[in-house]
Structure 1
């Protein structure tokens, strides 16, 4: 009869190790590196959907009132047909360069902040009160914009460049950076903040709550498949909720003549109708959901490995 108790005790010790708060420069650097690897993994898998989303959000009707793309599938086929297979990966390299610090900051800051709150409240990080989880997520969204805005504006400029006539040369990432300059790289930052802070505010606590439904009652550990499923579900709904801010951000980053956030928002509603604020919402959700599911799964695998090897 003692063997089951010993096994339960071992599981409990493992669970406690996994939930133990870890602070200090070394731990933060480890979280940053894990977030970077997670971001790169997810981005390389879902990038073709991202370029479809950008094209759909930026498309405008021609003189006859006809849009270039009927839907996401038509957009993807058109890109492959006229630009080749490489066209669906246009802008990938600068995006990977930017996604490394962006995901590193986002995932690490949220994780670190949640652990900081949990330690001071003397509760398990997995059972942190909801409003504290929201505060941690909002903090992560605020910090990540430092890396997000330059990465996204370069990526979007290169993705949209694929719609130019064949005889017009396509710019390289370095040419886009030189043309924009430091100030230009942060064009549309208010819209990026309006998208990323609410997204993180909604996403991270939702993911944490969903994970608790799948926790093993004895060990408190969530299976990896549940980590992925929780990330996909939380990201899908959070991404859909902030789509209007993403559409405005895309317009502002494509052209410098779009004005500010308020003017761009008003122009879209007045000229294209309120529905235009949700252009590309489904491709966006289908991008963000698996991206964060894969990223969080990759991040969780690394975190558990590091904690068990300590």
Structure 2
């Protein structure tokens, strides 16, 4: 295997491990976020929650630990696959745009690399996220036969709604993946350069590499900062995707027909605030999660590089 190919698989492995660690730690907040996102104030099978803490307490009391970890299997699968593919596609795109691995890319090329990776990941993983959303929205109030798990949900969706249903919410998902990933990774890379330059000058090590200058605290701060920027700018696409991916009624009628229908109805009944429902648990989940992800990713990548150079 060439060094370039090995480096790409190293980034994919680091990303997959980082994604698993993130989901395992933060899943209950993901359930709460999804339920807030689809609660549009009209007739709903979901309980009404006052805030994030009340939602967690209510779900735990009425549904037990299983409720807080609803959709955990597809969340683990989706996050692990998504992060692995994302870092793989992102690494390949960066290599393609640079003449050699040591050349620093411009912000525009970082943006293009992240956008390309986000679009490819979205196409590959949309069915997994659809199932996760459906499982997270199941409550004791539902009248329809619940899905018993990931594979049962897949079979039932295909049987009742057809293969095309697995790609519900794909359009906002594409916008979400491209914009969110592009913003996050561009912000991460640019902030990383600033911190590396600052710490290198402070230590008078102008020739030192980023790996020798940055530590886990730096990676945590960089991951959190870049995540906040990405969430604030791309969050409405998450709300749109979740609303489109809801299970149809027992008569087979979807709550929302398409992305434009979601936009019209949300603006009509909830205003702009409707596009930011669930953002508090989303920030609580994803800001520390991004820190965990980048700490794990960068340190796993260091370990794999060290192991390769010492073979």
- TM-score normalised to structure 2 length: 0.84
Aligned positions, number: 285
**Alpha-carbon deviations, 1:125-148, whole Å to 9, x = none?**
5x4211111111111111111333
Which of 86, 100, 103 aligns to 2:83? It is: 103
Q: How does 1:76-87 map to 2 (within 5 A)?
A: 76-87=56-67
1:187 aligns with 2:176: no
Match of 1:231 in 2: 223
Q: How does 1:109-124 map to 2 (within 5 A)?
A: 109-118=89-98, 120=99, 124=102
Q: How does 1:126-145 map to 2 (within 5 A)?
A: 127-145=104-122
Match of 1:220 in 2: 209
Counterpart CA distance in 2 for 1:164 and 1:116 is 51
1:32 aligns with 2:30: no
Counterpart CA distance in 2 for 1:262 and 1:226 is 41
RMSD: 2.4
C-alpha spacing 1:137/1:102, structure 2 compared with 1 (3 Å): same
Counterpart CA distance in 2 for 1:146 and 1:211 is 29
Match of 1:271 in 2: 269
**Alpha-carbon deviations, 1:189-223, whole Å to 9, x = none?**
01100111001111101001111232241223222
More displaced 10-residue stretch of structure 1: 127-136 or 27-36? 27-36
Match of 1:262 in 2: 260
More displaced 10-residue stretch of structure 1: 173-182 or 228-237? 173-182
Ranges in structure 1 where 5+ consecutive residues have no aligned partner:
1-20
Which of 240, 243, 246 aligns to 2:238? It is: 246
Counterpart CA distance in 1 for 2:55 and 2:40 is 13
Ranges in structure 2 where 5+ consecutive residues have no aligned partner:
249-253
More displaced 10-residue stretch of structure 1: 267-276 or 129-138? 267-276
**Alpha-carbon deviations, 1:30-52, whole Å to 9, x = none?**
32222111110111111111001
Contact 1:98-1:150 within 8 A present in 2 as well: no
**Residue 167 of structure 1, CA deviation:** 10
Which of 75, 81, 106 aligns to 2:55? It is: 75
The 4+ residue runs of structure 1 with deviation greater than 4 A are 165-170
